[in-house]
Each structure stands twice: as C-alpha cells, then as structure tokens.
Structure 1
Amino acid sequence: MAETAYCFDTGFDREAERLALGEALWDPGTVARLAPLVGPGARCLEVGAGHGSVARWMVARGAEVTAVDRDVSHLDVPGGRVVAADIRDGLPGGGYDVVHARLLVQHLANRLDAVRRMADALRPGGHLVLEDTDTAALFSHADGPFHDEVKRAAYAVMRASGYHPRCGLLDVELAEAAGLADVRADARAEVVRGGSAGGRWFALWLEHLRPRLTGVEPGDVDRAVADLLDPRHTWLSQVMVTVIGRKVEP
C-alpha cells in the first residue's frame, strides 16, 4: 500500500503544545509499562519520539538512548542521541535492548514492514513495545452521545491519510507476524476532564484537523472545542493498547 502524508504534518503553529499535552495524558501509563525493561546501561531506541518526554525519562533511568523522528524540531533529549529519520527508510543502529513506539504504527500504511524494522533493531532477548489506540470508546460520556459527528469527521480525515482507528488491537498480530515471542498486551483508558491537559490535547487535535473537516458545520466544531475546554464535562479517552514482544535467538 502506498504511503500518504501524515495527517498532522501540516505546520500547525501549536504543534509543540499539542505534543506536550499528549505526553502529559499518556506518559504515566507508558513509563509504568517500560519501567521493568529500562534501567542503567540499557540501549533504547525511541521511534517517533515527538516532543521527547519518554526518551528523556529513559535517559533519567540511566539508559543509553537514541530518539528518532521525521521532524526533530520539537525534540529535546539532553544526554541522548537525536536522529532525524523516517522509519520507512530504516532505523539507526541495532542491538537495542528496548525499542518503543507510541502512536506511530497506526499512522503507517506499511505497518508490518515498520514493525519488522523495529524488531530487527533489537538484540536477541530485547523487547519491542508498541502503543497504539483503539478509538471505539472515545468521547463516551455519562449523558450519552458527545460530539459524535465531529469525531466521525475528524477520523475521516485521519483515515484518508492511512490511519487505522483500531491499530492497538492490530499490533498484537503485527508483533507475532514479525517473529516476536511471548507477545502480551494490555490496555488502558483515561477519564478526561474538560480544560485539563488531556482536554486541551483533544481540543488541539480538533483545531489541527479543523481546516480539513467536512460534513460538519463550523459552529459544531466551535461547540466541540468549547466543551473539551469546559471542566463541567468528563469523557472517556480512546483505549491505549500496549503490546510487548521479545526477540528470540535466530
């Protein structure tokens, strides 16, 4: 399948803020799952490193860290190595103890190729950790439907760029198809309050996609953004699925 442009690669002037807010929402669960694998001297590769929070946490744990992203303009990892690279063209080095990618595979058309590249970068016995979402639960709300039309319009834009809305579950199959052993998975969702870091992340998600939304009125988007910033509202996030697999001896 041919690759298409990444849906968030548009020069959005608040992209650094959007990335940082997403980290605040998802990092606690990520570091809890990585903690048993990352320690002093571990060689770690963070793929699609974004704003760099996970890579910085790895450095603070005493790991030797390489952080990779197509766009490194928002990436700051003191004590780590930063590399501008596209996973579709290959990854720097090999023999890593841990390779981690969050919210990356779901945006790629050639997902299995990407997972195989990450698995190939591991040493025997090393672990690949993939984190992607399942969007079915997003905007579940105590009062019933919560901006369903705007949600559908936003995901239509993302799907048109190659996004898979249930890739978190697909990652289990991809890890197994890449030859990893002991593949295991768990999932988490967050209850998000309007105006919190998570609420602002969702608001900026819509603002970033707003120019390309179709089938909804501008006023509908305005109301959705206002509700995502309003602390009177709480909703369920999408489900983040973490898949961990181990590379076996050749």
Structure 2
Amino acid sequence: MMRTDGNVLHHRQAEAAEGHDAFAALYDPTTIRHLEAVGVRPGWRCWGIGSTSLVSWLAKRVGPTGRVLATPVDTTWSAPAARPPVEILNHDIASGEPPAGGFDLVHARLPFVEAADRERAVRAMAAALRPGGHLLIEDTDPELQPLACPDEHGPGERLANRLRRGIHELRTARGQSHAQSHAQGRVLPRLLRQAGLTEVTADAYIPYADPACARLESATVRLLGDRLLVAGLATAGDIEEHLGNLATGELALSAAPLISARGRKSQASKVR
C-alpha cells in the first residue's frame, strides 16, 4: 500500500473519485425519493450543498425558470457544469452569511466535513429558506451499524469487520481532534428543530449486499491503507487479502446508514 512510484496524489484523487461515484450510486436513489416527497418543481430556487451528483437532477426539475446554486463541500470532487440554471458558489456554510433571496429548497449531504460548528451551519441553511421552504440534510452515522459484514460467518467477513473497526478508529480520532462527534446523522432531527423548523421527519437507509458497497469499501481501504499501517491497525497482508476478497464479489457488505432529515420553515417566517 505504500506508494513508491511518485504518483501519490494521482492515486489519492483516483481513489477519492471512485469512492464518490460509489457513494452516489448507493445513496442517490434515497435522496431522490426524499426530494420527490418534498415536491421539487419548475421555477423553484434550490441550494445544493455537497451533493454534486444530484445537481443535474435538480436542474431538470426546476427547469429554465428555476435556479440551482451548487456548493461543493469537498473540493476534491469535480464541480458540476455551471450552465443555467446551475450556478457554483464556494461558500463556508458555518461562518459565511447565507445567500440572499430565499430558497424553496436547501439540500445538504455530508455538510459537516469542514464545518466545525454544526448548529451554526444548520441555522445558516434554515435562514436561507423562504417562508414555507424545505431543508433536507443527510449525513452518515457509522456507529448505528458499524459492521462491514453483518453476517460474520467466515474469515473473510471477520477480516472485513476488523478493518472496518480500524477505519472507524482512525476517523473517530480525527473527529475528536476537530472537536466533532463521528455520530453525525442521528443529531439531525434535533438540529432542525433547534433551527426553528416544523414538520421535522427523518429516516435511515442502510445499503446491504449492493455491488457498490464493495466499490466504496475498496476505495476507502485503498485511500486509508497507509494510515491503517502506520497506526498498527492492519498489516499489508491484511489489506491485500481484504482487497482480494472484495474483488471476488462474494462478501455481503454493508455501508454506513444514511440519515435523511427534513423540515420546513414556517409560512409566517420572514426571509433574512
């Protein structure tokens, strides 16, 4: 896993892009289900944060009379094409003032990657809504289902779960250093209510035995493999064996639960 060919950045970018594509394949249908329940329609003004894979879907729904403002959270992902009705905005959701004018929909997926103050970020997103507008926030919560292989019946599954625990340990340590909890998803309904939204609902989706789970797992292990080795959480043999097991397609893998929480701004509220 230790790169010696001088192309570390290239490998990291390729693995990150592969993981992003697998994540979108796993979770976009769930997000679209929620967006359809909200009722996105022509003429709407939408602000999409983090979910660049859904920008085209939103643009088709709002049509030429609408607007889609796209804010990538992680700049390693490719930005969507900035053609009307899509505009790109590089914006700090936690410390910057929300875009003016009022949105019919604000959708954010994994919005706390760089936002140290979750409460402030949610308040800013809620403030960007017009009266009656909808806020949909989605984040993962690995602690709610921490196993890579819930059916741990063989050595391949046991190895997968051991490496998943190692990855969780790495990410938890990083989250603590940034004064954040790794359990992001479960707090979303509370944060929406604290921001003054009504009609708050939420659900959780756990992908299981989907081929994209293996692609996401492979990209994640290759991306974090060096850190697992340095931390003593895995050997090079462990990682290579696990990647080989993934390549067979025989592991019934699970990915982290995605919590989707949505709420609505009161009709009586004033646009800030």
Residues 99-144 of structure 1, C-alpha deviations (whole Å, 9 max, x = no match): 1111223664311111111111111111110111221324133234
Tell me which protein shows more strand as a share of its residues. 1
Give the CA deviation at 1:94: 4.1
Residues 15-61 of structure 1, C-alpha deviations (whole Å, 9 max, x = no match): 22321221111101110110133111111101123xx2211110011
Larger Rg: 2
- Pick from 165, 180, 184 the counterpart of residue 197 of structure 2: 180
Find the counterpart in structure 1 of residue 35 from structure 2: 34
Paired with 1:157 and 1:108, the residues of 2 have a C-alpha distance of 19
**Correspondence 1:141 to 2:150:** yes
Gap change, CA 1:29 and 1:67, over 3 Å in 2: same
Q: Is the 8 A contact 1:129 1:245 kept in 2?
A: yes
Tell me which protein shows more helix as a share of its residues. 2
1:234 is paired with a residue whose SS is: coil
- The number of residues matched between the two structures is 237
Find the counterpart in structure 2 of residue 209 from structure 1: 224
1:81 is paired with a residue whose SS is: strand
Q: Is the 8 A contact 1:43 1:64 kept in 2?
A: yes
**Correspondence 1:74 to 2:91:** no
Paired with 2:250 and 2:106, the residues of 1 have a C-alpha distance of 39
Find the counterpart in structure 1 of residue 4 from structure 2: none
Q: Is the 8 A contact 2:213 2:254 kept in 1?
A: no
TM-score scaled to structure 1, two decimals? 0.85
Kindly report which structure 2 residues correspond to 1:1-250, keeping only aligned pairs within 5 A, or say none: 12-14=12-14, 15-37=16-38, 38-49=40-51, 52-62=52-62, 63-70=66-73, 71=75, 74-77=78-81, 78-79=83-84, 80-90=86-96, 91-105=98-112, 108-135=115-142, 136-137=144-145, 138-144=147-153, 146=158, 147-162=160-175, 164-193=181-210, 196-213=211-228, 214=231, 215-248=233-266, 249-250=268-269
Gap change, CA 1:47 and 1:157, over 3 Å in 2: same
Which consecutive segments of 4 or more residues in structure 1 shift more than 4 A?
none
1:100 is paired with a residue whose SS is: strand
**Range with greater deviation from structure 2 (68-77 or 229-238):** 68-77
Runs (5+) with no aligned partner, structure 1: 1-9
TM-score scaled to structure 2, two decimals? 0.79
Identity of aligned residues (%): 31
Paired with 2:187 and 2:235, the residues of 1 have a C-alpha distance of 33
Superposition RMSD in Å? 2.2
Q: Is the 8 A contact 2:140 2:258 kept in 1?
A: yes
Paired with 1:82 and 1:126, the residues of 2 have a C-alpha distance of 21
1:202 is paired with a residue whose SS is: helix
Find the counterpart in structure 2 of residue 6 from structure 1: none
Give the CA deviation at 1:242: 0.7
**Range with greater deviation from structure 2 (13-22 or 27-36):** 13-22
Give the CA deviation at 1:73: 5.9
Runs (5+) with no aligned partner, structure 2: 1-8
**Range with greater deviation from structure 2 (127-136 or 209-218):** 209-218
Q: Is the 8 A contact 2:126 2:265 kept in 1?
A: yes
